[in-house]
Amino acid sequence: MIADRAPEAERGSLVAEAERIIRNGSKSFRFASNLFDQQTRERAWLLYSWCRACDDLADGQTLGHGAAAPADPQRRIAFIRETTNRALAGEAVGVAPFDALRVVAAECAIPRRFIDDHLAGFALDADGWRPQGEDDLLRYCYHVAGAVGCMMAVLMGVTPDDEDTLDRASDLGLAFQLANIARDIVEDHGVGRVYIPAEWGAVDPADRDHLARVAERLGALVERYEASARVGAARLPFRARWAVLSAANIYGGIARKVVARGPHAWDSRTVVHKPEKIVLVANALMECGDRPAPVDRTGLWTRPR
Protein backbone atom coordinates (compact mmCIF):
# COMPACT_ATOMS: atom_id res chain seq x y z
CA MET A 1 0.00 0.00 0.00
CA ILE A 2 1.30 3.47 -0.94
CA ALA A 3 1.20 5.92 1.96
CA ASP A 4 -0.22 9.44 1.66
CA ARG A 5 2.17 12.04 0.31
CA ALA A 6 3.95 14.39 2.69
CA PRO A 7 2.53 17.92 3.04
CA GLU A 8 3.17 19.80 -0.21
CA ALA A 9 5.25 22.56 1.40
CA GLU A 10 7.60 20.07 3.07
CA ARG A 11 7.78 17.85 0.03
CA GLY A 12 8.46 20.78 -2.29
CA SER A 13 11.31 21.98 -0.07
CA LEU A 14 12.85 18.51 0.06
CA VAL A 15 12.58 18.08 -3.73
CA ALA A 16 14.26 21.47 -4.28
CA GLU A 17 17.13 20.53 -1.97
CA ALA A 18 17.43 17.11 -3.60
CA GLU A 19 17.61 18.76 -7.02
CA ARG A 20 20.41 21.00 -5.77
CA ILE A 21 22.28 17.97 -4.45
CA ILE A 22 22.01 15.94 -7.63
CA ARG A 23 22.87 18.95 -9.80
CA ASN A 24 26.16 19.29 -7.94
CA GLY A 25 26.75 15.64 -7.12
CA SER A 26 26.12 13.77 -10.37
CA LYS A 27 25.87 15.55 -13.70
CA SER A 28 25.30 12.26 -15.53
CA PHE A 29 22.41 11.06 -13.35
CA ARG A 30 20.91 14.57 -13.31
CA PHE A 31 21.06 14.68 -17.11
CA ALA A 32 19.33 11.30 -17.51
CA SER A 33 16.76 11.97 -14.77
CA ASN A 34 15.26 14.83 -16.78
CA LEU A 35 13.75 12.20 -19.08
CA PHE A 36 11.48 10.81 -16.34
CA ASP A 37 7.94 12.06 -15.88
CA GLN A 38 7.78 14.68 -13.11
CA GLN A 39 6.65 12.35 -10.33
CA THR A 40 9.32 9.73 -11.03
CA ARG A 41 11.96 12.41 -11.50
CA GLU A 42 11.21 13.98 -8.12
CA ARG A 43 11.22 10.61 -6.42
CA ALA A 44 14.54 9.71 -8.05
CA TRP A 45 16.03 12.98 -6.79
CA LEU A 46 14.74 12.35 -3.27
CA LEU A 47 16.27 8.88 -3.21
CA TYR A 48 19.53 10.11 -4.72
CA SER A 49 19.89 12.80 -2.05
CA TRP A 50 19.82 10.16 0.70
CA CYS A 51 22.27 7.91 -1.15
CA ARG A 52 24.59 10.87 -1.76
CA ALA A 53 24.45 11.96 1.89
CA CYS A 54 25.27 8.46 3.12
CA ASP A 55 28.17 8.19 0.69
CA ASP A 56 29.53 11.61 1.64
CA LEU A 57 29.32 10.84 5.35
CA ALA A 58 30.99 7.46 4.94
CA ASP A 59 33.78 8.76 2.70
CA GLY A 60 34.45 12.12 4.32
CA GLN A 61 33.63 14.01 1.13
CA THR A 62 31.27 16.70 -0.14
CA LEU A 63 28.86 15.85 -2.98
CA GLY A 64 31.18 13.09 -4.15
CA HIS A 65 34.33 15.22 -4.19
CA GLY A 66 37.41 15.56 -1.99
CA ALA A 67 37.26 12.13 -0.38
CA ALA A 68 39.48 11.70 2.67
CA ALA A 69 39.51 8.65 4.90
CA PRO A 70 37.56 9.73 8.01
CA ALA A 71 39.10 9.20 11.43
CA ASP A 72 35.82 7.90 12.87
CA PRO A 73 34.28 5.62 10.22
CA GLN A 74 32.31 3.41 12.62
CA ARG A 75 30.76 6.43 14.34
CA ARG A 76 29.69 7.76 10.96
CA ILE A 77 28.11 4.43 9.99
CA ALA A 78 26.27 4.36 13.31
CA PHE A 79 24.90 7.86 12.64
CA ILE A 80 23.77 6.86 9.13
CA ARG A 81 21.99 3.76 10.44
CA GLU A 82 20.35 5.52 13.37
CA THR A 83 19.15 8.47 11.30
CA THR A 84 17.89 6.20 8.54
CA ASN A 85 15.97 4.10 11.07
CA ARG A 86 14.37 7.20 12.57
CA ALA A 87 13.35 8.47 9.15
CA LEU A 88 11.85 5.13 8.14
CA ALA A 89 9.90 5.09 11.39
CA GLY A 90 8.20 8.28 10.18
CA GLU A 91 10.15 10.78 12.26
CA ALA A 92 11.09 14.16 10.78
CA VAL A 93 14.80 14.09 11.62
CA GLY A 94 15.72 17.59 10.41
CA VAL A 95 18.40 16.37 7.98
CA ALA A 96 17.03 16.98 4.50
CA PRO A 97 18.37 13.88 2.69
CA PHE A 98 17.12 11.56 5.43
CA ASP A 99 13.75 13.30 5.47
CA ALA A 100 13.75 12.84 1.70
CA LEU A 101 14.14 9.10 2.24
CA ARG A 102 11.24 9.16 4.70
CA VAL A 103 9.02 10.76 2.06
CA VAL A 104 9.98 8.63 -0.93
CA ALA A 105 10.07 5.34 1.00
CA ALA A 106 6.52 6.00 2.21
CA GLU A 107 5.23 7.08 -1.18
CA CYS A 108 6.65 4.06 -3.02
CA ALA A 109 6.71 1.39 -0.30
CA ILE A 110 10.41 0.74 -0.92
CA PRO A 111 11.25 -2.65 0.60
CA ARG A 112 13.39 -2.27 3.71
CA ARG A 113 15.71 -5.05 2.56
CA PHE A 114 17.06 -2.88 -0.26
CA ILE A 115 17.76 0.00 2.10
CA ASP A 116 19.58 -2.31 4.52
CA ASP A 117 21.52 -3.88 1.66
CA HIS A 118 22.70 -0.44 0.57
CA LEU A 119 23.80 0.52 4.07
CA ALA A 120 25.84 -2.70 4.26
CA GLY A 121 28.09 -1.36 1.50
CA PHE A 122 29.10 1.65 3.58
CA ALA A 123 29.89 -0.69 6.47
CA LEU A 124 32.25 -2.66 4.21
CA ASP A 125 34.14 0.53 3.39
CA ALA A 126 34.29 1.50 7.06
CA ASP A 127 35.83 -1.90 7.84
CA GLY A 128 38.60 -1.35 5.27
CA TRP A 129 37.34 -4.30 3.25
CA ARG A 130 38.97 -5.39 -0.02
CA PRO A 131 37.61 -8.00 -2.44
CA GLN A 132 39.62 -11.18 -2.83
CA GLY A 133 37.93 -12.42 -6.01
CA GLU A 134 35.42 -11.36 -8.63
CA ASP A 135 32.41 -12.54 -6.63
CA ASP A 136 33.50 -10.32 -3.73
CA LEU A 137 33.78 -7.37 -6.09
CA LEU A 138 30.31 -7.95 -7.50
CA ARG A 139 28.82 -8.37 -4.03
CA TYR A 140 30.27 -5.01 -3.04
CA CYS A 141 28.94 -3.41 -6.24
CA TYR A 142 25.50 -4.77 -5.39
CA HIS A 143 25.51 -3.18 -1.96
CA VAL A 144 26.65 0.26 -3.09
CA ALA A 145 24.83 0.43 -6.46
CA GLY A 146 22.82 -2.68 -7.33
CA ALA A 147 20.52 -2.20 -4.34
CA VAL A 148 19.97 1.37 -5.51
CA GLY A 149 19.01 -0.03 -8.91
CA CYS A 150 16.39 -2.18 -7.18
CA MET A 151 15.01 0.82 -5.28
CA MET A 152 14.90 2.86 -8.48
CA ALA A 153 13.01 0.05 -10.20
CA VAL A 154 10.37 0.15 -7.46
CA LEU A 155 10.11 3.93 -7.94
CA MET A 156 9.41 3.24 -11.62
CA GLY A 157 6.60 0.84 -10.85
CA VAL A 158 8.31 -2.58 -10.73
CA THR A 159 6.61 -4.73 -8.10
CA PRO A 160 8.82 -6.05 -5.27
CA ASP A 161 8.00 -9.65 -6.22
CA ASP A 162 9.19 -9.29 -9.86
CA GLU A 163 12.50 -10.90 -9.04
CA ASP A 164 13.86 -11.17 -12.59
CA THR A 165 13.29 -7.50 -13.39
CA LEU A 166 14.81 -6.54 -10.05
CA ASP A 167 17.82 -8.75 -10.81
CA ARG A 168 18.29 -6.84 -14.04
CA ALA A 169 17.90 -3.50 -12.26
CA SER A 170 20.62 -4.70 -9.91
CA ASP A 171 22.72 -5.64 -12.94
CA LEU A 172 22.57 -2.06 -14.17
CA GLY A 173 23.75 -0.80 -10.79
CA LEU A 174 26.63 -3.28 -10.95
CA ALA A 175 27.57 -2.01 -14.41
CA PHE A 176 27.53 1.60 -13.19
CA GLN A 177 29.72 0.84 -10.19
CA LEU A 178 32.19 -1.22 -12.19
CA ALA A 179 32.55 1.72 -14.58
CA ASN A 180 33.18 4.05 -11.64
CA ILE A 181 35.78 1.70 -10.19
CA ALA A 182 37.62 1.52 -13.51
CA ARG A 183 37.65 5.31 -13.82
CA ASP A 184 38.72 5.93 -10.21
CA ILE A 185 41.36 3.22 -9.57
CA VAL A 186 44.16 5.70 -8.94
CA GLU A 187 42.01 8.23 -7.07
CA ASP A 188 40.60 5.53 -4.78
CA HIS A 189 44.07 4.16 -4.10
CA GLY A 190 45.11 7.62 -2.95
CA VAL A 191 42.59 7.54 -0.09
CA GLY A 192 43.31 3.93 0.87
CA ARG A 193 40.45 2.30 -1.05
CA VAL A 194 41.20 -0.68 -3.30
CA TYR A 195 38.26 -2.29 -5.07
CA ILE A 196 40.28 -4.45 -7.45
CA PRO A 197 40.20 -8.13 -6.41
CA ALA A 198 43.45 -9.26 -4.82
CA GLU A 199 43.43 -12.22 -7.22
CA TRP A 200 43.87 -9.75 -10.09
CA GLY A 201 47.17 -8.51 -8.72
CA ALA A 202 48.43 -5.62 -6.65
CA VAL A 203 47.27 -2.11 -7.52
CA ASP A 204 50.29 0.07 -8.24
CA PRO A 205 49.34 3.51 -9.61
CA ALA A 206 52.73 3.67 -11.34
CA ASP A 207 52.12 0.43 -13.29
CA ARG A 208 49.70 1.84 -15.86
CA ASP A 209 50.01 -1.16 -18.18
CA HIS A 210 48.66 -3.43 -15.44
CA LEU A 211 45.92 -0.95 -14.61
CA ALA A 212 44.91 -0.87 -18.27
CA ARG A 213 44.55 -4.67 -18.24
CA VAL A 214 42.48 -4.45 -15.07
CA ALA A 215 40.28 -1.82 -16.72
CA GLU A 216 39.73 -4.15 -19.68
CA ARG A 217 38.48 -6.86 -17.30
CA LEU A 218 36.19 -4.39 -15.60
CA GLY A 219 34.97 -3.12 -18.97
CA ALA A 220 34.10 -6.66 -20.06
CA LEU A 221 32.02 -7.08 -16.89
CA VAL A 222 30.29 -3.77 -17.55
CA GLU A 223 29.25 -5.01 -20.99
CA ARG A 224 27.81 -8.27 -19.62
CA TYR A 225 25.76 -6.71 -16.86
CA GLU A 226 24.65 -3.78 -19.00
CA ALA A 227 23.34 -6.20 -21.66
CA SER A 228 21.27 -8.00 -19.03
CA ALA A 229 19.95 -4.72 -17.66
CA ARG A 230 18.68 -3.66 -21.08
CA VAL A 231 16.30 -6.63 -21.04
CA GLY A 232 14.77 -5.35 -17.82
CA ALA A 233 14.63 -1.76 -19.08
CA ALA A 234 12.39 -2.89 -21.96
CA ARG A 235 9.70 -3.73 -19.37
CA LEU A 236 9.49 -0.18 -18.04
CA PRO A 237 7.11 2.61 -19.07
CA PHE A 238 8.40 4.56 -22.07
CA ARG A 239 9.91 7.59 -20.32
CA ALA A 240 11.47 5.45 -17.60
CA ARG A 241 12.89 3.14 -20.27
CA TRP A 242 14.37 6.12 -22.13
CA ALA A 243 15.95 7.50 -18.95
CA VAL A 244 17.40 4.14 -17.92
CA LEU A 245 18.82 3.41 -21.36
CA SER A 246 20.31 6.90 -21.48
CA ALA A 247 22.01 6.37 -18.13
CA ALA A 248 23.26 2.97 -19.33
CA ASN A 249 24.74 4.56 -22.43
CA ILE A 250 26.41 7.33 -20.45
CA TYR A 251 27.92 5.16 -17.70
CA GLY A 252 28.80 2.45 -20.18
CA GLY A 253 30.44 5.20 -22.21
CA ILE A 254 32.66 6.04 -19.24
CA ALA A 255 33.88 2.44 -19.04
CA ARG A 256 34.45 2.24 -22.79
CA LYS A 257 36.44 5.48 -22.77
CA VAL A 258 38.61 4.26 -19.88
CA VAL A 259 39.39 1.07 -21.79
CA ALA A 260 40.08 2.98 -25.01
CA ARG A 261 42.51 5.35 -23.27
CA GLY A 262 44.60 2.40 -22.10
CA PRO A 263 47.53 3.32 -19.82
CA HIS A 264 46.64 7.03 -20.15
CA ALA A 265 43.17 6.61 -18.67
CA TRP A 266 44.25 8.07 -15.32
CA ASP A 267 46.28 11.02 -16.64
CA SER A 268 43.07 13.01 -16.29
CA ARG A 269 39.54 12.20 -15.18
CA THR A 270 37.58 10.31 -17.83
CA VAL A 271 34.29 12.06 -18.53
CA VAL A 272 31.47 11.93 -21.05
CA HIS A 273 30.98 15.53 -22.17
CA LYS A 274 27.57 17.11 -22.70
CA PRO A 275 27.60 16.92 -26.54
CA GLU A 276 28.41 13.20 -26.23
CA LYS A 277 25.60 12.77 -23.71
CA ILE A 278 23.12 14.34 -26.11
CA VAL A 279 24.11 11.81 -28.77
CA LEU A 280 23.84 8.94 -26.28
CA VAL A 281 20.39 10.11 -25.16
CA ALA A 282 19.28 10.30 -28.79
CA ASN A 283 20.60 6.78 -29.33
CA ALA A 284 18.66 5.64 -26.26
CA LEU A 285 15.48 7.10 -27.71
CA MET A 286 15.93 5.03 -30.85
CA GLU A 287 16.73 1.95 -28.75
CA CYS A 288 13.38 2.36 -26.97
CA GLY A 289 11.65 1.03 -30.06
CA ASP A 290 13.89 -2.02 -30.36
CA ARG A 291 13.46 -5.35 -28.67
CA PRO A 292 16.74 -6.05 -26.85
CA ALA A 293 18.53 -9.30 -27.56
CA PRO A 294 17.53 -11.94 -25.01
CA VAL A 295 20.14 -12.36 -22.31
CA ASP A 296 20.16 -15.45 -20.11
CA ARG A 297 21.38 -14.53 -16.64
CA THR A 298 22.95 -17.95 -16.11
CA GLY A 299 26.49 -17.36 -14.95
CA LEU A 300 25.88 -13.79 -13.81
CA TRP A 301 26.24 -12.88 -10.17
CA THR A 302 22.83 -12.61 -8.51
CA ARG A 303 21.82 -10.44 -5.58
CA PRO A 304 20.91 -12.14 -2.28
CA ARG A 305 17.25 -12.89 -1.70
* Three-class SS of 74-127: HHHHHHHHHHHHHHHCCCCCCCHHHHHHHHHHHHHCCCHHHHHHHHHHHHHHHC
- Tell me which amino acid residue 191 is: V
Neighbours of 290 (CB within 10 A): 10
Q: What is the mean pLDDT of residues 263-271?
A: 96
Residue-wise pLDDT tens digits, 17-47: 999 999 988 888 888 999 999 999 999 999 9
> Range with the lowest mean pLDDT among 134-143, 233-242, 291-300?
291-300
pLDDT band at 154 (very low <50, low <70, confident <90, very high): very high
More confident: 258 or 74: 258
Predicted confidence at residue 26, as pLDDT, reads 85
Give pTM, 2 decimals.
0.92
pLDDT > 90? residue 143: yes
Q: What CATH number should be reported for the domain whose range is 8-287? A: 1.10.600.10
Residue-wise pLDDT tens digits, 179-221: 999 999 999 998 888 999 999 999 999 999 999 999 999 999 9
Quote the CA–CA distance of 254 and 200 in Å, as a whole number: 21
The C-alpha R_g of the chain, in whole angstroms, comes to 18
Long-range contacts of 77-85 (CB under 8 A, 24+ apart): 77/119, 77/122, 77/123, 77/126, 80/54, 80/119, 80/122, 81/119, 84/50, 84/54, 84/115, 84/119
Predicted confidence at residue 77, as pLDDT, reads 94
Q: What is the mean pLDDT of residues 136-143?
A: 97
pLDDT band at 4 (very low <50, low <70, confident <90, very high): low
Looking at the chain, list the stretches that DSSP marks H as alpha helix, in order from N- to C-terminal side: 8-25, 27-33, 38-59, 73-88, 96-108, 112-126, 134-141, 147-155, 163-183, 185-190, 208-233, 238-261, 274-287
CB 32, CB 243: distance < 8 Å: yes
DSSP one-letter code for 132: S
Residue-wise pLDDT tens digits, 43-62: 999 999 999 999 999 877 56
- Tell me which amino acid residue 253 is: G
